[in-house]
Amino acid sequence: MIQMNNIIKQFGNQTVLSDVTFEVKDKEIFGLLGPSGAGKTTIINILTNQLDADGGNYNTGCNMFETGLMLDTDGLYERLNCLENLNIFADIYGIPCKKSLEALKNVGLEDAAKKTVNLLSKGMRQRLALARAILHEPKVLFLDEPTSGLDPTTARGIHKLIQKLCDNGSTVFLTTHNMEEAIKLCNHVALLHVGKIVEQGMPTEICERHNAIKTVPDLEAVFIKLTGVELG
Amino acid sequence: MRSIKAIFIKQAKDMIKNPSVLVMFIVFPAVALIMTELIAKSNQDIPNNMFVTMMAAIFAGMGLVTSSCAVIAEDIERKSLRFLIIAGVKPHQYLIGTGGFFLIAGSITSVVFALIGDFTITETIKFLSVMIAGSATSIVLGALIGMLSKNQQAATALSMPIAVIIGFTPMVASFSEPVEKYASILYTQQINVIVSDFSANFAQSLMVIGINIVVLLMLFIITYRKKGLKG
């Protein structure tokens, strides 16, 4: 179980997270929603020990080897091919290199295994970054805007994969500013605005609470009602 | 050990596909070979090994500083290093894997220099020892500059002038006594002294190189503690 209690983070005089509290149950997909600059990536950076919090406490319920991470920057080795990129991490984790091929197959990149990274499209790079994150079958997966900038077909492919990972027992923590994605994928969501959680719960429950169900639940309407800000 | 091996293999695969780094390990011995064959061997006034020793000293000082610095700065800028660290690679393992690879690549290039040169067995051993010690010093210097740089562009802007000064000072010193006097504290000058004259005080030169390594390592540790490898 991932827990964050009263987390505070400041950069200089600017408070970027204030009193952030939420809980993510095992084997669920949890979405952290908010516009750019809300503090979503800062929360992931704290949960993955890349940043220290200035106050509060948190627990991911597992060690770093049991977490997978996909960030807004992919950090792939441009001159190496897809398989070589994954094999580096397979060697680091001490798992057989055949797992790299399996991971590529899972994200639909088996035909591009020998393709150099700098020749991949953005969607393929995203999928390769996801393959690297799931290579060692982590218990908890942190995905920072996994479908940002992708075409709908590729995004749907990634949604299916995230759902499959959750069905196989992984806990998925994702950030997004795409409300449709959150409604479609997430069991629970938290709405983040200027470093504060303004609402959290099941997407349909939140929409019902704020009378934002017309034909389908409309989380974006809830967000605008609560913050007065439109998602970019 | 597993992580160091993974980083080492990654560097080897990456360097083969990275012309800007690969060229550093090829161009200096190639120039030494061409100049030795075309100029030194046909001119009685020029010592046979002059171009080998000159290019070897420049390679040890310049080539390894710029290449190790470029690789570390690239890993920091592209956030690749961040993913390695999240995967459990300790910063010192990353540095040992990367530095170890460059040390072996530098040693192989030094062997190529030794094969081009006309050395006896004792001279070859002295030549290789001083080149390997010099290469290690340059790698620490390159890693230090790479760590201080925000991106590759900044790393090149910082490493190039330093590498040129370090690499070319021995050549300038051979024409100017005052420069030679001050340059004697530099490890590249000591490499040049030994490889140009094998009867020179080998122990003293190695000691100066050792002091250079210690000073750079101390600077490296201080910077690392202050700044870290912010991937």
Q: What is the band of A21 on the pLDDT scale with cuts at 50, 70, 90? A: very high
Q: Given this model, what pLDDT does residue A232 score? A: 54
Q: Given this model, what pLDDT does residue A24 score? A: 92
Q: Given this model, what pLDDT does residue B10 score? A: 92
Nearest residue in B to A84, CA atom: B10
- The CA distance from A178 to A199, in Å, is 16
Residues of A in contact with B6 (CB under 8 A): 88-89, 91-92
Q: CA torsion angle for A55, A61, A66, A67 (degrees, to 10)?
A: -40
Q: CA torsion angle for B106, B107, B112, B118 (degrees, to 10)?
A: 120
CB A60, CB A47: distance < 8 Å? yes
Count of all residues that appear for chain B in the document? 231
Element (H, E) at A200: strand A196-201
* pLDDT (mean) for B135-146: 90
Q: Which residues contact A22 (CB under 8 A, 6 or more apart)?
A: A3, A4, A30, A190, A197, A200
Give me the residue label for tokens 């001159």.
A79
Contact residues, B window 10-49, toward A, CB-based 8 Å cutoff? 10, 13-14, 17-18
**Residue among B18, B20, B125, B2 nearest A116 (CA):** B18
Crossing angle for the helix pair A82-93 and A122-134, nearest 10 degrees?
20
Quick check: pTM over 0.90?
no
Using a CB–CB cutoff of 8 Å, tell me whether A92 touches chain B. yes
CB A129, CB A74: distance < 8 Å? yes
Nearest residue in B to A88, CA atom: B6
Residue contact B88–A50, C-beta within 8 A: no
Q: Which residues contact B198 (CB under 8 A, 6 or more apart)?
A: B119, B122, B123, B126, B127
Using a CB–CB cutoff of 8 Å, tell me whether B6 touches chain A. yes
- The CA distance from B7 to B83, in Å, is 12
Residues of B in contact with A91 (CB under 8 A): 2-3, 5-6, 9
- The CA distance from B187 to B178, in Å, is 17
Q: What is the band of A215 on the pLDDT scale with cuts at 50, 70, 90? A: low
The one-letter code for the residue type at B116 is I
CB B61, CB B188: distance < 8 Å? yes
Q: CA torsion angle for A35, A38, A42, A47 (degrees, to 10)?
A: -80
CA dist B205 → B137, B198, B214 (Å): 13, 11, 14
Q: Given this model, what pLDDT does residue A186 score? A: 92
Chosen from A65, A87, A91 to mutate, greatest number of chain B CBs within 10 A: A91
Residue contact B88–A92, C-beta within 8 A: yes
Residue contact A91–B9, C-beta within 8 A: yes
Whether the complex's predicted ipTM is more than 0.90 is answered with: no
pLDDT tens profile B58-92:
888 888 899 989 888 888 888 888 888 888 888 88
- A27-31, A207-211, A216-220, B136-140: segment of lowest average pLDDT: A216-220
Report chain B's mean pLDDT, rounded to a whole number. 87
Q: Give the closest-approach CA distance of A49 to chain B in angstroms.
A: 8
Element (H, E) at A21: strand A14-24
Q: What is the band of A214 on the pLDDT scale with cuts at 50, 70, 90? A: low
Q: Given this model, what pLDDT does residue A190 score? A: 93
Residue contact B87–A93, C-beta within 8 A: yes
In the structure encoding, which two tokens stand for residue B4, read together? 């160091």
Q: Give the closest-approach CA distance of A65 to chain B in angstroms.
A: 6
CB B21, CB B67: distance < 8 Å? yes
Residue contact A92–B89, C-beta within 8 A: yes
- The CA distance from B5 to B191, in Å, is 30
Using a CB–CB cutoff of 8 Å, tell me whether A77 touches chain B. yes
